[in-house]
Amino acid sequence: MKNILIVFLLLFMFGLTAQQPYQKGVIIDSLPVNGSDVELFALYLPKTMKAGEKAPIVFLFDPQAQGKTAIAHFISSAESHGLIVVCANHIRNGPYEQNFAKAERLFAHVLSNFSIAENQIYLAGFSGGSRLATAIAVLTDQMAGVIACGAGFSQHPMHGPSDQHFSYVGVCGTRDVNLTEMFGVVSYLDTIDFDHTLLTFEGGHRWPPSEVLHRAFDWLVIRNQDKTGGTLPKTFLETAYSRAQEGIRTAAKNGLLLQQANAYEHTIATFGPFFQTDSIADAMGVLKASKEYKSQKKARKTALAKETQLVSTISDRFYQDYQKPEKARLSWWQKQLDNLNGDALRNTEMERMADRIKNRIYIMTIERARAENPKPSEAQINLCKNINRLVYAE
C-alpha cells in the first residue's frame, strides 16, 4: 500500500496526464493494464467529459471481477458528475496483499494515461470489493471518498478507518445479509467522529440501484467540495437536492417509514447549508411521532435482536455438524427453518430478517463446500448441499 501512495505522488508531481482516444458514452471492456493479457479492466468515459480538463474518477471493485456489469450501475452518476469509471476484471475476492499489488498496477496505468483531478479520486466496491476499497482508502489516505456497498471493513485491524481524511458512504439493502454489520459500522464511525453517512434501499445482497448510487455520489461531491474549498454550481445543488427528495418520496410511497426517516436525516444534513430544510425537518418530526413509525422501529429492533441470537446459534451448530457430518441431524435444520418461516409471517421486519438468515446459511455452506484450504470431504460437501436444499428447494 505504501507503493500506491508513491505512485500517486509521482504521477501528480510530474503531471502525467496523457489522454487516450477512447469512445465516450459506452462501456469498453477488457482493456489491458500495461499490455498485460491477464490483468484487464473495463472503462466508461462520460459523454460530458471535456477535452483538456482534469476529470474525477471512481475505481470499482466487484467481488466476481465483472467489470462491465459493475460499471452499468454507475453510468447515471458518471454522466451527472463527469466521472471516469474503471472496474478491474482481474481483482476479485481473494488475498489482500495480492489484490493490493494488482490495484497498484491498475492505478499506475490509469493515472498515467488519463487526465485526473488528484483531489477527486473515489473508490467503490460491493461485498468483498467494499472491504477492499475501504482498506485501500485507509492505508493510502489519498482518496476523496468511498462508497461501501453491502459490507463494512475487513477483519484486519489496520483496514478500518481511524483518523483518515476521506468520506465514507455505506449503502446496504434491507434484506442484505450484512445489514447488521453496516449498522455496526455506522455506530463505530459515529464514536470516532468520522465523516460518513448511510443509505439503505429495499433489496438484498447486491449492487445498489443506480439512483441510490447517484445520491451517494452527490453526497461525496458535496463533502469533498466542503473539504477542498470553492463553491458548487447552483444547478448541481438543485438537481442533487431534487434527487434526495425523490428518495424520500419513494420510501414514503412504499410505506418504508424507517428508510423514509433515514432519507429525511440524510437530506437535512447534506443540503441544510444550501437550502431551507425546515419543512423537511417538520415532516420528519411528524413521521417519527406517528404510531406507524414507532411500530416499524420497534419491529426492526426486535428482528435485529433475534437475528443476532440466531446467527450465533446457527453458526455454532454448522461448525459442529461440519466437523462431524456423519452425526449431523437435518431435522434440527428443518426445525430452525420452519420457525424462521413462521417468524416471517409476523411482520415485514421479521420477513426481512428471515431472508437475511437464509442468505447467511446459503453463503456459509457454499463457502465451505468450495473451500480450497482445507478441502472439504465428500461427506462435508453433501452436508452443505443438503442444508441448502432445505433453505432453497430450487
For the segment 35-80, what is each residue's pLDDT rounded down to a tens digit? 999 999 999 999 988 888 899 999 999 999 999 999 999 999 999 9
Predicted pLDDT at 230: 76
Predicted pLDDT at 372: 87
Instruction: Quote the radius of gyration of the chain (alpha carbons, Å).
Output: 22
Predicted pLDDT at 21: 77
Tell me whether the omega of the peptide bond preceding residue 273 falls within 30 degrees of 0, making it cis: no
Check whether 7 has a pLDDT greater than 80: no
CB-CB contact of 264 with 199 (8 Å): no
CB-CB contact of 143 with 79 (8 Å): no
Mean pLDDT confidence for 204-219: 96
10: confidence class by pLDDT, cuts 50, 70, 90: low
Q: Please tell me what DSSP assigns to residue 272.
A: T
Residue identified by cell 428443518 is 334
146-172: pLDDT as tens digits: 999 999 999 999 999 999 999 999 999
Amino acid at 331: S
Rounded distance between C-alpha atoms, residue 121 and residue 143, angstroms: 5
Mean pLDDT confidence for 9-26: 65
Predicted pLDDT at 228: 86
Rounded distance between C-alpha atoms, residue 80 and residue 55, angstroms: 12
Q: Is 291 helix (H, G, I), strand (E, B) or coil?
A: helix
93-136: pLDDT as tens digits: 999 999 999 999 999 999 999 999 999 999 999 999 999 999 99
Amino acid at 12: F
Q: pLDDT > 70: what percent of the chain?
A: 95
Check whether 367 has a pLDDT greater than 70: yes
8: confidence class by pLDDT, cuts 50, 70, 90: low
Intra-chain end-to-end CA distance of the chain, in Å: 43
**pTM, to two decimals:** 0.93
317-351: pLDDT as tens digits: 999 999 999 999 999 999 999 999 999 999 999 99
20: confidence class by pLDDT, cuts 50, 70, 90: low
Check whether 360 has a pLDDT greater than 90: yes
